[in-house]
Structure 1
Amino acid sequence: MASKSSSIVKRQTDEELLASLGYKQEFKRAFAPLEVFGIAFSIIGLLPSIASVLFYGIPNGGGPAMVWGWAIASFFILMVGMSMAELASAAPTSGGLYFWTFSFSSPRWRRLLCWLVGYANTIGSIASVASIDWGCAVQVMAAANIGSNENFEATPGQTFGVYAAIIVTHIAVCCLGTTVLARLQTLYVILNVLLCLVVIIALPVATPAEFKNTAKFALWDFSNCTTTSFPAWLSAKIRLLKVNGWPDGYAFILSFLAPLWTIASFDSSVHISEEASNAATAVPWAIVLAIFIAGVLGWAINISFAFCMGTDLAALYASPQPMAQIFFNSFGRTGTLALWAFVVIVHYTRTPVNTVFFDGLLALVLGLLVFAGDQAINALFAISVVGLYIAYAIPIAARFMGKNTFQPGPFSLGIFSFPVAVIAVLFMLLMSIVFCFPTSPNTTVQDMNYTVVVLGGVMVLSVVWYYLPKYGGVHWFTGPVANIDTHAVHESEAFNHEKKSSSGI
């Protein structure tokens, strides 16, 4: 009975807080705190995500980049997450980044910044869906390659077909009701954690001695792979994956794309704020815990790979799927197929809940980049990170750059709020610049970074569309539209407070 009363009080508190932000309760609050965490953690999809971007870590420093690059990047990602968590606690609304930008920016710039955040978040989310499902399609084809004793080699058209099927199925899954999706999150968390633990424990045990590496090689032998690192017969196959000329320090920073793409889209829990119970506490802690746990487990997985991937990194780069090759070397064909099936399944469960229909259709269009070459389709990973980081950085910075009515929620960093936000914004700015550069200083048409083309094109067009004479957003866009009178809500709350006080409650 007490639990039921507590639930009613929390629901009323959630509704009152939402009303103070200008919105009435329209969704059923079906997500418990664990399920809110499940949304953020399952969309990270740790092991299959690492599989999708392992080719960024290996050629940009080898084992040390995988291990220490992951650890360093995870620290900065946590800074970003904590800054976002403060905003989510203060204003838990599904509008999230869009709403915060408008609320905390100066009146002069709030509409334009809100407009840009909307477009950056949209292209970042679409690229996230595209890169998630592309990674899943590649993993399906890797399983087919292993199952055929490496006789089957997928064409770009075949991989795109699998990719399209996965996107359509994802759209269908998101037609399920909120309650069903909420309950699935617990299963996703369990599957993710168990799969990570299996790899961390079983891989070192099963790996033959010939593929086990020394601590020096795994942790300290920085391999900045250049053209001279490869035999002539391998050069063509790995040309698009090598660093080829960047200094070691810059190459090491390039390896950050692996953890940055993996531990991303944690704002997904923000978008279900209006469907979560005790949202002001559950949502921020879901963000922070998802990042922290993913950072620790991911670091352990990368250590396991660094010690068990062998020293022939050139052969690993040339394989269709580096992680599948590591498993094949350690577990053999049968063991790899069994484990890889779970990798694909867990990757498949990384279902973004918000705007998935629109995202899914445009993700199909982005998938056509595969026909422009490997480098073009691989740009999906950078586009998703840079797009999301633009959308993350603006509201975090806006909170401190002008006069606003920010009131901390239950989750607050106190005096550390400002320094953490500065670190987060500067890190996102640096990474956004780095990931727009090509993978080689000697760039050709095939080697160019399509992040600039796709993301830059979208952002430039969004600005043009905003200022377009007569029809542009500057003439009609007003930002988030409240659906209740917040002034009336505040008066009602004040009246209820006075009534309780006079009654001695």
Structure 2
Amino acid sequence: MSSTNKEFRSHAEADLDTTDQDEWDMQRLGKAQQLKRNFRFYSILGFTTTLMATWESILLTSTYGLTDGGRAGMVYVYIGSFVGFFAAVISMAEIASVSPTSAGQYHWVSEFGPPRAQRFLSYLTGWLSVLGWQAAFASICFLCGTLIQGLLVFNYSGDTGYVYNFHSWHGTLLTIAIAAVGTLVNTYGAKFLPPLEGVILFLHLGGFVAVLATLWGMSSGTVPDHAVWKEFSNSGGWSSMGLACLVGQLTPIFSWTGPDAATHMAEEVQNASFVIPWCMVSTALVNGGLGFIILVTLLYNMGPIADVLAPASGFSFLPAVHHATGSIAATNGVAAIILIMEVCSAISILATASRQTFAFARDNALPFSNALAHINKRTQIPVTSVLVSTIITVLLSLINIGSSAAFNAIASVMIAALFTTYILSIGAFIRARRLPGGIPPSRFSLGWLGMPINCFAVAWLCFSIIFTFFPTASNPTPVDMNWSILVFGVVVIFAIIQYLVHGRRIYEAPVTQVRKTD
């Protein structure tokens, strides 16, 4: 390389805020540094903790756990699920330290998977990850929109002078509005996103303290200890209490989905091979702790389970908080905090979805890959991928006008899709561990515990993914049926057909670009 080219390269990389380790990692992965590395540890920690929004989601999705398992079921399922979830997180953290790339799981499957199958499995993983994150953005926007509707129902019903009439198209318009907010922040406000995430982290922690203080400080009385730790319930009508609790694990699973988000931002994080894994671990510990505390607080102060199930608003936490505080104003305040944090989560999810789309397009795996992989020179982000992600959410939200069940099936498929990518990537890493050369060195290592932790993580993921396809009740109506298994099957078939028609001819598997190092 000439001295002129070296000088140009050094200036370009300086403008992108790369470290020597970042440059080495990108060279090993065979990728050019295109994105500015403007995230540091605390900003990316704010990004991931608020994206997962665990304590907020525990309240929002508490209906599932209260229906299937009850108070005690929610406590023990949360603890058990966290053990399995944490094993998956630290497994992926080690892989992310070896290969810190926005491609994430599909790159890992390509690099560490069996040679004969790695190209197809990588392509399938990439499609599942892209579609999973697109569904995640649609899901969170819809959740925010229906929460606003739920608040209107909660405030304007019964003895009030005005009664709000719930319409599906209202939810669709609100979903589009939330998506528009996320898009504006991720485009026009892109350069402010890292410092904004630091502020959002403060709001995430401050909001937790405010809600916790409200529930305990204004509590009208708590249930006995045995009600929280020993009383199970099976309102879903399952054949056994154990099965009911397993079905109810959807509450914690939904609250923890997305630990790979930091990985998809890796090429925008300085010192990524060190920061990303520790960010993933820190996020799991912080959110896991906050989620457990808010869960126990809710269970002690919510009153009788029968009084909060099947609420008119659609959200059990609203009557639960109202029972605890005896105040509509306090309930609205708690809901407002949760709504704000979920909108912040939508901002982070859109960023993640667009980066995963950008990375997959960069490997020529998507239709119109050149456009989707384009980096805007002014903003230094994949603007086209951001806009396409928003358009997909808008189109999906229109389905809600005709059938909320159909939309919920599409939105809920994110869990199955992302969990499948976790299984494939950790499984590929287990294979790499057994090879004579072992795995490449990393700055975050599980050492000799890596193999048993990886195997346990895959076992838990395979077990838990089964119950994400279950409906809430054992005898559901067509409206209440969980159709995500059907949508997931369609997604997998579509990805296979897409590979046969398009992918096998032009898909550039990441492993072909990885440079072997000692």
Instruction: Give the TM bin, normalised by the shorter chain.
Output: 0.7 to 0.9
Q: Which amino acid aligns with 1:30?
A: N
Alignment partner of 2:115 out of 104, 107, 110: 107
Deviation track 1:449-477 (CA, whole Å, cap 9, x = no partner) reads: 2111211101112112222xxx4422332
Alignment partner of 2:510 out of 473, 480, 502: 480
Alignment partner of 2:267 out of 240, 249, 274: 274
Q: Which residue of 2 aligns with 1:131?
A: 139
Deviation track 1:314-370 (CA, whole Å, cap 9, x = no partner) reads: 543334121122222233112222332222111101122131433332223333453
Q: Structure 2: how far apart are the matches of 1:400 and 1:220?
A: 38
% identical equivalent positions: 24
Q: Which residue of 1 aligns with 2:316?
A: 322
Alignment partner of 1:215 out of 225, 229, 254: 225
Q: CA separation of 1:277/1:166 partners in 2, compared to 1, >3 Å: closer, same or farther?
A: same
CA contact (8 A) 1:86 1:413 kept: yes
Q: Which amino acid aligns with 2:232?
A: F
Alignment partner of 1:345 out of 340, 344, 352: 340
Matched, 1:408 2:416: no
Q: Structure 2: how far apart are the matches of 1:343 and 1:222?
A: 27
Q: Which residue of 2 aligns with 1:66?
A: 74
Q: Which residue of 2 aligns with 1:311?
A: 304
Q: Which residue of 2 aligns with 1:429?
A: 462
Q: Structure 2: how far apart are the matches of 1:34 and 1:312?
A: 39
Larger deviation, residues 370-379 vs 396-405: 370-379
Q: Which amino acid aligns with 1:20?
A: R
Q: Which residue of 2 aligns with 1:232?
A: none
Deviation track 1:197-224 (CA, whole Å, cap 9, x = no partner) reads: 2222330221213xx3111112211011
Q: CA separation of 1:312/1:442 partners in 2, compared to 1, >3 Å: closer, same or farther?
A: closer
CA contact (8 A) 2:141 2:178 kept: yes
Aligned 1:14-413 pairs, distance under 5 A: 14-148=22-156, 151-176=163-188, 178-209=190-221, 212-225=222-235, 243-320=236-313, 321-331=315-325, 332-350=327-345, 351=347, 352=349, 353-354=351-352, 355=354, 356-371=386-401, 373=403, 375-380=405-410, 382-402=412-432, 403=435, 406-413=439-446
Q: Which runs of 5+ in 2 are unaligned?
A: 1-14, 355-385
Equivalenced residue count is 460
Q: Which residue of 1 aligns with 2:379?
A: none
Q: Structure 2: how far apart are the matches of 1:108 and 1:70?
A: 39
Q: Structure 2: how far apart are the matches of 1:83 and 1:337?
A: 40
Q: Which amino acid aligns with 1:366?
A: L
Q: Structure 2: how far apart are the matches of 1:391 and 1:357?
A: 24
Q: Give the Å deviation of 1:146.
A: 3.6
Q: Which amino acid aligns with 1:33?
A: F
Q: Which residue of 1 aligns with 2:363?
A: none
Local SS of the residue matching 1:445? coil
Q: Which amino acid aligns with 1:83?
A: S
Larger deviation, residues 281-290 vs 191-200: 191-200
Deviation track 1:123-156 (CA, whole Å, cap 9, x = no partner) reads: 2112211221121112212232344355324222
Normalised to the residue count of structure 2, the TM-score between the two structures is: 0.83
Q: Which residue of 1 aligns with 2:358?
A: none
Q: Give the Å deviation of 1:117.
A: 0.4
Larger deviation, residues 252-261 vs 136-145: 136-145
Local SS of the residue matching 1:317? coil
Q: Give the Å deviation of 1:189.
A: 0.9
CA contact (8 A) 2:71 2:227 kept: yes
Normalised to the residue count of structure 1, the TM-score between the two structures is: 0.85
Q: Give the Å deviation of 1:51.
A: 3.1
Q: Give the Å deviation of 1:306.
A: 0.4
Deviation track 1:203-247 (CA, whole Å, cap 9, x = no partner) reads: 0221213xx31111122110110xxxxxxxxxxxxxxxxx23342
Q: Which runs of 5+ in 1 are unaligned?
A: 1-6, 226-242, 495-505
CA contact (8 A) 1:125 1:359 kept: no
Q: Which residue of 1 aligns with 2:369?
A: none
Q: Which amino acid aligns with 2:229?
A: L
Q: CA separation of 1:9/1:167 partners in 2, compared to 1, >3 Å: closer, same or farther?
A: closer
CA contact (8 A) 1:102 1:480 kept: yes
Q: Give the Å deviation of 1:397.
A: 0.5
